[in-house]
Amino acid sequence: MQPLPPLAWSAPTTIDEVVAALAEGVPGEVRLHAGGTDLVPNLKRGVTSARRLIGLGRVAELQELVDGPADALGVGAAVTLDDLGRDPRVVARWPAVAEAARQVASPQLRRMATLGGNLCLDTRCRFYDQSAFWRGALGGCLKADGDACHVVPTGRKCVAACCADTPAPLIAAGAELELASVRGPRRVHVADFFAGDGARNHTLAPDELLVRVWLPAPAPGTRAGYQRLRRRGAIDFPLLTVAATVVVERDVVRAVTVVVGALGAVPRRLRGLDALAVGRPLDAAVRAAIAAAATRQCHPLDNLGDAAWRQAVVAPLVRRTLEALEPATAPDAASLR
Ligand SMILES: Cc1cc2nc3c(=O)[nH]c(=O)nc-3n(C[C@H](O)[C@H](O)[C@H](O)COP(=O)(O)OP(=O)(O)OC[C@H]3O[C@@H](n4cnc5c(N)ncnc54)[C@H](O)[C@@H]3O)c2cc1C
Ligand code: SF4
């Protein structure tokens, strides 16, 4: 068994205490520990480092789901993926988000793993997520301890992939994040939270805490879906994720969003779909046109291996997602509690 390096530990009980502890810490030395399902293995393997951990498990406010204005739902960053995937409000109104939460890893891990940790998950690359000994033999890379990328040798930026399950359906649902630091609160759309550098693929400042994820009420006629590709049936990170939200009114598409994840550092929102689908029924021809657009816009790299296979699967996975959309029921939160 690999031991953890020596670490100081604190367990604040309020958001203000967490924010103050983050502000006092030396950037790079202090890390937040939510479920620890990614952080702890990474610390053990030397993929990441820290001298002090701030545990979030005793901050009650971060474990709650709260009703917000205009029938939005606020999900605390430390709500577990198991609770998220079973919550009746989430299952009924944001079925793709619930499905993504239920697809992560395994039941044991989902009972520890949190939504906040999933959104802030480190990127993955087959040349990086290895032991320090393995990585040392290759000579490091742009993400750490080196000056070249083994996936794109001519590249100047790390292209490790965002392999978390929840970002794509949250972007497709139009979700926003509530962040806190000593400078005060701020909100950012999930789509704008991510940055195109696999070495650090989100815009969270080192002293910022993700407090809550806000899910806006789905418009009447919304249907949503989530599918992912993986090598094994469980306990495996996705190699591709696809999330879709489609608003249908009188059998005609009014709005469509499709997001493909696990390609690079940022989940990719497909462009130009309105021209293919809006004003038409979501029939086989429209689904095929959207799938063809996905193939043109998505180009899996060798960051997770199997690039050609993943490329071939993009269109079928998008088509399958659009075929299996579920209704996101109109707001009636009271009846769901
Ligand atoms: C075997 C195995 C299989 C896995 N399979 C999958 C999978 O299929 N899909 C998937 O998406 N993930 C998978 N994971 C990764 C991980 O379990 C999940 O992504 C999980 O949701 C991470 O949440 P956590 O609470 O454990 O995060 P932690 O490990 O506690 O933290 C992860 C990162 O997020 C930061 N962080 C956590 N909370 C906050 C916050 N509130 N504000 C700011 N920063 C924060 C931490 O500092 C750390 O950098 C797998 C892990 C393992 C070990
Ligand atoms: S994509 Fe390149 S730079 Fe990033 S972790 Fe992989 S090998 Fe390193």
Q: 34 vs 12, 65, 301, CA distance in Å?
A: 12, 16, 30
Please write down the long-range contacts of 268-274, taking CB distance under 8 Å and 24 or more positions apart.
268/297, 268/298, 269/171, 269/191, 270/294, 270/297, 270/298, 271/297
What pLDDT, on a 0 to 100 scale, did the predictor assign at position 337? 43
Q: Are strands 176-181 and 73-76 parallel, antiparallel or unpaired?
A: unpaired
Is 334's pLDDT higher than 80? no
**What is the b/e burial string over 149-165, where b = at least 16 CB atoms within 10 angstroms of the residue's CB?**
bbbeeeeebbbbbbbbb
Q: Give tens-digit pLDDT for 199-251.
A: 999 999 999 999 999 999 999 999 999 999 999 988 999 999 999 999 999 99
Is 333's pLDDT higher than 50? no
Burial of 267 (0-12, 13-18, 19+ CB in 10 A): buried
Nearest CA to ligand 1 atom 38: 117
- Report pTM: 0.96
* Ligand 1 centroid from CA 186, angstroms: 22
Q: Give tens-digit pLDDT for 98-156.
A: 999 999 999 999 999 999 999 999 999 999 998 888 888 888 899 988 999 999 999 99
Contact between 207 and 230 (Cβ < 8 Å): no
- Which ligand 1 atom sits nearest the alpha carbon of residue 209? 42
Any atom of ligand 2 within 6 Å of the Cβ of 159: yes
* Domains by residue range for the chain, with CATH: 1-56 (3.30.43.10), 65-215 (3.30.465.10), 222-327 (3.30.390.50)
Probe target for ligand 1 pocket from 33, 64, 102, 118, with the most ligand atoms within 8 Å of CB:
118
Sign of the C-alpha dihedral computed for residues 188, 190, 191 and 192 taken in this order: positive
Q: Give tens-digit pLDDT for 5-39.
A: 899 999 999 999 999 999 998 888 999 999 999 99
Of all residues in the chain, the percent with pLDDT exceeding 90 is 88
SS3 state at 174: coil
The residue with tokens 């969003």 is 257
